[in-house]
Amino acid sequence: MKVVIALLTLLSAQAVLADCTVDITVGDTLKFSKDAIEVKQSCANVTIRLTHSGALPAGAMGHNWVLTRSKDYEAVARAGASSGLSGNFLPADDERVIAATPVIGGGNSTSVTFSLDELDRDADYTFFCSFPGHWAVMNGPFEIS
Shortest spacing between CB 68 and Co ion, in angstroms: 15
Per-residue interface string for the shown chain with Co ion, residues 73-112, x marking contact by CB under 5 A: ----------------------------------------
**Cβ–Cβ contacts within 10 Å for residue 90, how many?**
22
Position among 22, 50, 52, 63 found at the interface with Co ion (CB under 5 A): 63
Shortest spacing between CB 47 and Co ion, in angstroms: 20
Report the 3 state secondary structure along 60-128: HHCECCEEEECCCHHHHHHHHHHHCHHHCCCCCCCCCCCEECCCECCCCEEEEEEECCCCCCCCCEEEE
CA distance 42 to 19: 10
State the distance between the two ends of the chain, measured CA to CA, in whole angstroms. Answer: 36
Could you give the 3-state DSSP secondary structure of residue 144? strand
User: With contacts defined by CB under 5 A, how many residues of the chain interact with Co ion?
Assistant: 5
Q: CB-wise, 9 or 107, nearer to Co ion?
A: 107
Per-residue interface string for the shown chain with Co ion, residues 115-144, x marking contact by CB under 5 A: --------------x-x--x---x------
Shortest spacing between CB 63 and Co ion, in angstroms: 4
Regarding 52 and contact with Co ion (CB under 5 A), the answer is no
Name the residue number minimizing CB distance to Co ion. 129
Find the helix or strand (DSSP H, E) in which 6 lies: helix 2-19
Q: CB-wise, 29 or 113, nearer to Co ion?
A: 29
102 neighbors 111 (Cβ within 8 angstroms): no
User: What residues make contact with Co ion under the rule CB under 5 A?
Assistant: 63, 129, 131, 134, 138
